[in-house]
Structure 1
Amino acid sequence: MTRRLEGKRAIVVGGGQTPGTTTGNGRAVALTFAREGADILVVDRVLESAEETAELVRKEGGTAAAHRADITSEADCAGIMDAALEALGHVDILHNNVGIVPAGRTEDLPVERWRQGFEVNLTGMWLTCKAVLPHMRERGTGTIVNISSMAGLLAGGETIAYSTSKAAVHALTRNLALEYAPHGVRVNCVAPGMMDTPMGVDATARAGGVERAEVAARRAAMVPMGHQGTSWDVANAALFLASEEAAFVTGVVLTVDGGFTLNAVAQ
């Protein structure tokens, strides 16, 4: 490791883990940031899951604390900032990783599910940013990395709510980047593609009642590079955007998809 985040303090929202699944994006980011020198506050809706990630960081010699929050609650998001100041002293990096997939076509999708998708995928992300940005603005420095999806760049009848909410995350990222650039704050976004993660593979297999291996093989066949990515690919992209190597990068949507979106456009 090159210790690219040495001395930095980072909040990783959605840093927990579904038990018994492959490593998800949030946990991979927390571990990668810690390995690169950052102190971490792991935030998750399930405290035990956040604590498990924090303990993994500590076992590797890093510094981490855990905090429970529901990002659809403005009070909980304000509490994230309070907890970060107590545990870390200040905040250099905010990483937003929470998301759900409200599947269904327009005529079949309940309005409650549509609203829930936007509450979690968009409004919750805006609320965490809203809670942390005054601190970053006052310090004159900071970086935010939002996790979106290649779905925000494409269209699909079964994922209209998901795709639309993720496209809105891209717009949120660009607007925050423009608004806070004069204050020394950078805001960027990673848009993963076909990833071998709990949300990408495990949840799809459960929903379809099929074997995990079948889902993984089907997804891999859709990628021009011939295989799915992993949470570590997402974490490495987030690391670049959070680091000083990206000091002149703001407002970008970085696709990490093995060429999937290129293939989709070509078709």
Structure 2
Amino acid sequence: MRLQDRTAVIIGAGQSPGETLGNGRATAIRFAREGARVLCVDRDLASAQETARQAGQGATAFEADVLHEAQVQAAIAEALRLWGRLDILHYNVGLSLAGGDAPPTEITVEAFDRVTAVNLRGFVLAVKHALPVMRRQQAGVILSISSAAAVESYPYVTYKATKAAMIAFTEQVANQNAEYGIRCNTILPGLMDTPMAVDTRVRHTGRTRSEVAAERDAKVPLRRRMGTAWDVANAALFLASDEAGFITGVALPVDGGRLVQIG
């Protein structure tokens, strides 16, 4: 029960369609089973409700779209209304191919703006509204999902740029809020077997899921197999818990050794 009596807001707790579990849903389930009261936030209310159902332990769904600041602010306010505290903010929203991301020579203004708004601006706005609460408490944990794409070769310009910016923003928030007892860290998933990573590529390429999965598996040094959402959820649990109480400003790879191989 490492998160006993903690209040967590997970933005992006639903998931896109696919055969496997997404990072946000797995993290919500993991947090709830460790004793946290979890607000499962997603623009798809039905998906958030399914996450809350699977998480149990009093988890609650809330509808909000990170493209709208007022809705992000409302999610933070809802956690305070329900439980009076905000101990953990976890930003799990991300967009790449589904938002029209492309190589630098092919990117459109519309796609660039949309992916940036979801990946980076939404994170900044969530932190904007969480920080005053956590500063008053003199405690809090801010987590996010960046990506190994931030530091490795990646073909699509906006996803890479925004995920790299998330690392810089994480460092800034950690540095400027350490005096308040607030920790801020980000996770860099590598090649994961999640609906966003695999099933989205299946839909966009017309290849079979087994073909996409096999190609990705072959690139992972550790056991030649992608990670799962549970790997990301376990990393988030550690960073949210008191076991990581002296860790802040860190970008933690969860990638089966891929970044080490590249380095």
TM-score by length of 2: 0.96
**Structure 1 residue 87 and structure 2 residue 85: aligned?**
no
User: Structure 2 matches for 1:144-163, cutoff 5 A?
Assistant: 144-156=142-154, 158-163=155-160
Aligned residues: 259
Look up the equivalent residue of 1:97 and give its one-letter code.
N
CA contact (8 A) 2:3 2:36 kept: yes
The answer to whether 1:97 aligns with 2:95 is: no
Using the TM superposition, give the Cα deviation of residue 19 of structure 1 relative to its aligned residue in structure 2, in angstroms.
4.1
AA partner of residue 161 (structure 2): T
Q: In 2, Cα distance between the equivalents of 1:151 and 1:130?
A: 25
Q: Corresponding residue for 2:43?
A: 45
For 1:217, the equivalent position in structure 2 comes to 214
Gap regions ≥5 residues in structure 2 = none
Q: Aligned residues: percent identity?
A: 47
Paired residue for 2:71? 76
Residues in 1 aligned to 2:67 and 2:170: alpha-carbon distance in whole angstroms: 18
Q: CA RMSD in A?
A: 1.0
Q: Is the contact made by 1:204 and 1:215 (CA closer than 8 Å) also made in structure 2?
A: yes
Within 2, Cα distance between the matches of 1:18 and 1:155? Answer: 25
Deviations, residues 131-187 of structure 1 (Å, cap 9, x unaligned): 11100000000001111100011233x211111110000001000000111111000
Between the aligned partners of 2:165 and 2:239, the Cα distance in structure 1 is 20
1:11-69 CA distance string (max 9 Å, x none): 011001234531100000000000111010000011111111111122xxx11111111
How far off is 1:89 after superposition? Answer: 2.1
1:194 maps to 2:196: no
> In the alignment, is the contact (CA less than 8 A) between 2:17 and 2:199 conserved in 1?
no
Specify the code of the residue in structure 2 equivalent to 1:36.
E
Distance in 2, Cα, partners of 1:44 & 1:87: 17
Q: How does 1:170-189 map to 2 (within 5 A)?
A: 170-189=167-186
Corresponding position of 2:137: 139
| Equivalent pair of 1:42/1:51 in contact (CA under 8 Å) | yes
Tell me what 1:5 maps to.
3
Contact 2:4 2:35 in 1 (8 A): yes
1:112 CA drift (Å): 1.1
Q: Equivalent residue for 2:116?
A: 118
1:244 Cα deviation after fit: 0.1
Which of these residues, 105, 108, 129, is aligned with residue 106 of structure 2? 108
Tell me the SS of whatever aligns to 2:20.
Answer: coil
Give the 3-state SS of the residue equivalent to 2:38 in structure 1. Answer: strand
Which digits, 9 at most, give the CA deviation of each residue in 1:104-148, with x for residues without a partner?
A: 111211011011111110000010111111000000000011111
Q: Stretches of 4+ moved more than 4 A in 1?
A: none
Match of 1:130 in 2: 128
Aligned AA (2:120): L
Quote the offset at 1:215 in angstroms: 0.6
**Shift in alpha-carbon separation, 1:163–1:20, aligned structure 2, 3 A:** closer
Task: State the secondary structure of the residue aligned to 2:35.
Answer: coil
What letter is aligned with 1:70? Answer: D
Which residue number in structure 2 is paired with residue 243 of structure 1?
241
Contact 1:41 1:87 in 2 (8 A): no
Residues 185 and 250, structure 2, Cα contact 8 Å, conserved in 1: yes
Q: Secondary structure at the match of 2:252?
A: strand
Query: Is the Cα–Cα contact under 8 Å of residues 16 and 196 in structure 2 kept in the other structure?
Result: no
1:234 matched to 2:229? The reply is no
3-state DSSP of counterpart to 2:187: strand
